[in-house]
Structure 1
Amino acid sequence: MIFGRVKPLDAILATAEKKSLHRSLGAFQLTLLGIGAVIGTGIFVLTSEAAQKAGPGMLLSFIVAGFVCGVAALCYSELASMVPVAGSAYTYTYAVIGELLAWMVGWALILEYAVGASAVAVGWSNHAVGLLSASGIHIPAVISNADALMAHVQLAFGAAATPDLMTAAQTGGWINLPAIIISLVVMSLLVIGTTESAFVNAILVCIKIAALSLFVILTLPSMKTGYFHPFMPTGSVGVFGAAASIFFAYVGFDAVSTAAEETKNPQRNVPIGLIGSLGICTLFYLLVASGAIGAIGAQPVTGANGALLAPGTAEIAGRCAAITGSGAVEPLVCSKEALVHVLQVMGHPIFGWFVGLAAVLALPSVVLMMMYGQTRIFFTMARDGLLPAKLASVHPKFKTPHIVTFVTGIAATIAAAILPVGKLADYSNSGTLFAFLMVAVSVMVLRKTDPTRKRPFRTPLVWVVAPAAIIGCIALYVSLPLTAILVLPIWGAIGLLVYFFYSRSRSYVGRGIIDESGEAAPEATA
């Protein structure tokens, strides 16, 4: 039976103790890691995308996405406290439901972490280019975005040569060099070590929170209620569509659970890090989004023919170029550095420059946590025999999984070089939502199959919370753009081929070489 390969929890915990990574993180560090992974992605990078989909209604979108993440976080907390090892949703599914679905979850998490890291790298690039431009150093468009490349791809596949698309083809760039640079820098930092990465992250989180607090202080007193009307210009469809996209803004919180194996007293500290970071981030999102809307407005823009344009496309890039080229003030939905743009329009260019600087300094912490999560997922899958054992190699000096970090970093760099931030975020969400759904299923299954096992943290009202997480994940998934919806089954089909032609025959559990003590037979470690 393909669902019959379940790795016992006792074996998982024993294996972790035998081959564990160094435990160095506490509750405070975990909370900062969670905040570092969450705050920034949505506010600094995706505010414009959400505004184009929902207008001022993106406030409701943040609440919807936050609610789904909240109920998912409660499910994550129970499992993370019971199974304090690396691997996150992959490990939980392996222990509860079985190897095949665990493989599919691990495969889907590649979309969450590696593609997510690429998305934030592109967002960092946008702010870095803007900051340098404000300082008098202009980076040519040809090497700072890939709008022209995407436009030519669309034209090559038969897209209509609209004025907006042609403008993007003529004025856009071909490769995102700054995104390449930051991806490679973060990869190198992760190879050096977890403790060093967490220390750098803590400093960057403080800078980020200070900048967002400054933004709130400057914008909230100047809010104009007129900018909130119409509140839902694209209706409930737009609100849920924006929620599906900015769901990406919250997903970093589950990277905290992937650090469980490197956490001191994980039964206590992991739930604190998960729920604490999510609560703090949600509050910041609502305050900052309200300030941005109330300061300059957030209504969507339409194409030359009056049709609503999808964010992250070559068409909207061309339309925005035409708007600014006419001398009009750039709409919020067109800005690639939304918060900086708001402060500049309000007449606070110096403060805008500081917020841009904070984004440039702080967004690498999000890239770092995304890559960090991905490397730990790969590390655990390789330790189970589902991926080549070489990927589980630990550097003799730095004590980090250096080979898998290089693999992840290079893949994320390639994606960041050629794809726009909005597309990357939506692709990432498709995998994340599947993983979150499986965590909620696993909590309910384990309550039935192993009710007596110690649960340091118990999900409250589990038979309400877990189904709510499942329904919420499905609702957001079907609200994604069609291309993002299709990414998951196509990527999943590729994963199934890899599993049945490589991983299934090499699985340690499938070969019966992992016992309850977690020990592997000699051939497993060769």
Structure 2
Amino acid sequence: MSLFGRVKPLQSILATAEKKALHRTLGGFQLMLFGIGCIIGTGIFVLTAAGTQKAGPGLMLAFLIAGAVCIVAALCYAEVAAMIPVAGSAYTYSYASVGEFLAWTVGWALILEYAVAASAVSVGWSGYFSGTILNEFLGIQLPAWLSAGPLALGGAPGGFINLPAMLIALAVTWLLMIGTSESAKVNAVLVAIKVTALTAFVVLTLTSPEFDAARFNPFLPAGVFGGFGTGLGAVGAAATIFFAYVGFDAVSTAAEETKDPQKNVPFGLIGSLLFCTVFYILVAAGAIGTIGGQPIMGPDGIPFPAGSEELARQCAMPAYSCALVCSDEALAHVLRQIGFSGIGNMLGVAAFLALPSVILVLIFAQTRIFFVMSRDGLLPERLSTVHPKWKTPHIVTLMTGLIVAVGAAFFPVGLLADYANAGTLYAFFMVAVTVMVLRKTDPDRPRPFRMKGVWIIAPLTLAGCLFLYVNLPWQAILVLPAWALVGLVIYFAYSRSRSHLGQGIVEVVDDVAGEEKAVPIDTAG
């Protein structure tokens, strides 16, 4: 019996992993390229405007801060992912180290992370669809009430529902339900499109005659710290654009397929994160240096909150109609403003093509967490029912898709990203806890990648995640404990009494329609 409660035996979890041992083929450079492909894309396409409104030119410092936190978190993630290479992510790691109760809180936070992140990407896709595909190519101007959520929640004046965002979320959900998944070749093409488009953006903006270093002054109009609960300043922007780095955990989980993981995993992780950080800073510099990136200030000299009603009203005025902070498709908008309309439109098309695959991955990851928790008995087992024809967990996929669609329809992208980050930061916080606990409780367990300086790096991860969390806007700070409270009610009212571990059974599942192994155990639950 653990101090933390019921702990799932690690040897039972690893039994499945041993049966599917993967061939080690990835070198350090390959792992770095894989990481770059996973990380670059969503956040930089959809959050540049929101980040600039929070920090102005200090957005470049924000990328540096967020990248630093990601590096220490990634090293923690890499050790535990290589050690426990099974489905369930941080939820499974926590179950094997700090017990069922805290594992439940992690799984519940991951639900918040993935579903809300999918909503945020859907809203980002909507901006490029409405601005590039409809407006630029087809000459159709979607009414404001169909292209943004209600004014009270942010968005354009007169907004009622973000119809394109809702429809893309539902379309991706339908594809997942009938069993369609993206192939490796298609994904590789989409990654190439994203990186090529952003590289072109950097080259064109930094070499443009419109580029003026004076646009970076003042560099920190809202300061480094905007104040607790404001989400402003460089640190507040870092807490938001942390979303631009989500995906690096996929690099960590590839540790089991890496040759010489002790050397290649840190090279791949740190290399990909450093590359993306520099790339993001160059994108921000190009955007701000060409058309300006000063936030729109309120009468008190403080920037209006990103996604707020006040900012929406200002953006509707002619004086700010071309401002970077007011664009729903910031990067394409920048290129159009400096005379590269055709290339700007192509960048918009790149986002239009690439972002649905990100929505698909996020919703799939969400259903995987639901599925594993359901098979553990912590959620109704009906959720893990696999469709007889489609061979997919159709019930949980439909539920997830509906939640994602509602979030996309009514909330602004910046606020959704902040909500998702709250769940992500808690999950990464618990991964760092897991690393330290397993070093104490199971020191002799084989670790394909053993992080050096764990008692420095893991506490730095805890501090970094907490630091970014308290610099989120107050709504996002509050949403995590509120969400956790709902989760605790469900856990004690339903999950704890129905837990398979509590009943003396361990089930290990490593695929959505995969094999299940039941192991009887003794528990003092």
Q: Secondary structure at the match of 1:196?
A: coil
The alignment status of 1:183 with 2:185, answered yes or no, reads no
Tell me which moved more, 92-101 or 394-403: 394-403
The alignment status of 1:205 with 2:191, answered yes or no, reads yes
Match of residue 145 from structure 2: 142
Tell me which moved more, 113-122 or 263-272: 263-272
Aligned length: 498
Alpha-carbon distance, 1:385 to partner: 1.4
Mapping of residues 200-279 of structure 1, within 5 Å: 200-222=186-208, 223-237=211-225, 238-255=233-250, 277-279=272-274
What is the identity, as a one-letter code, of the residue corresponding to 1:288?
V
Alignment partners' CA distance in 1, 2:281 and 2:17: 39
TM-score, L = length of structure 2: 0.87
Change (3 A) 1:488 1:24: farther
Q: Secondary structure at the match of 2:368?
A: helix
Match of residue 448 from structure 2: 456
TM-score, L = length of structure 1: 0.87
Alpha-carbon distance, 1:48 to partner: 0.8
- The unaligned stretches of length 5 or more in structure 1 are 152-167
Tell me which moved more, 79-88 or 379-388: 379-388
Match of 1:480 among 466, 472, 475: 472
The alignment status of 1:302 with 2:288, answered yes or no, reads no
Change (3 A) 1:417 1:303: same
Change (3 A) 1:372 1:277: farther
- The unaligned stretches of length 5 or more in structure 2 are 226-232, 509-515
* Cα contact 1:434–1:473 (8 A) shared by 2: yes
Change (3 A) 1:244 1:374: same
Alignment partners' CA distance in 2, 1:33 and 1:381: 28
Q: Secondary structure at the match of 1:519?
A: strand
Match of 2:327 among 331, 335, 347: 335
Question: In the TM superposition, what whole-angstrom CA distance separates every residue of 1:36-84 from its partner, at most 9, and x where no partner exists?
Answer: 5532222111111111111111111001001101110110011110101
* Cα contact 1:86–1:259 (8 A) shared by 2: no
Alignment partners' CA distance in 1, 2:457 and 2:433: 11
Match of 2:135 among 133, 136, 154: 133
**Root-mean-square deviation over aligned CA pairs:** 3.0
* Cα contact 2:332–2:347 (8 A) shared by 1: yes
Tell me which moved more, 502-511 or 220-229: 220-229
The alignment status of 1:3 with 2:4, answered yes or no, reads yes
Question: In the TM superposition, what whole-angstrom CA distance separates every residue of 1:351-398 from its partner, at most 9, and x where no partner exists?
Answer: 111111111111112212221221111121112111122323344555
Q: Secondary structure at the match of 1:96?
A: coil
What is the identity, as a one-letter code, of the residue corresponding to 2:48?
T
* Cα contact 1:433–1:473 (8 A) shared by 2: yes
* Cα contact 2:153–2:307 (8 A) shared by 1: no
Tell me which moved more, 512-521 or 27-36: 27-36
Alignment partners' CA distance in 2, 1:25 and 1:188: 35
Change (3 A) 1:277 1:364: farther
Alignment partners' CA distance in 1, 2:484 and 2:86: 25
Change (3 A) 1:365 1:235: same
Change (3 A) 1:366 1:281: farther
* Cα contact 1:382–1:388 (8 A) shared by 2: yes
Match of residue 512 from structure 2: none
* Cα contact 1:36–1:369 (8 A) shared by 2: no
Tell me which moved more, 383-392 or 232-241: 383-392
Match of residue 283 from structure 2: 288
Match of residue 230 from structure 2: none
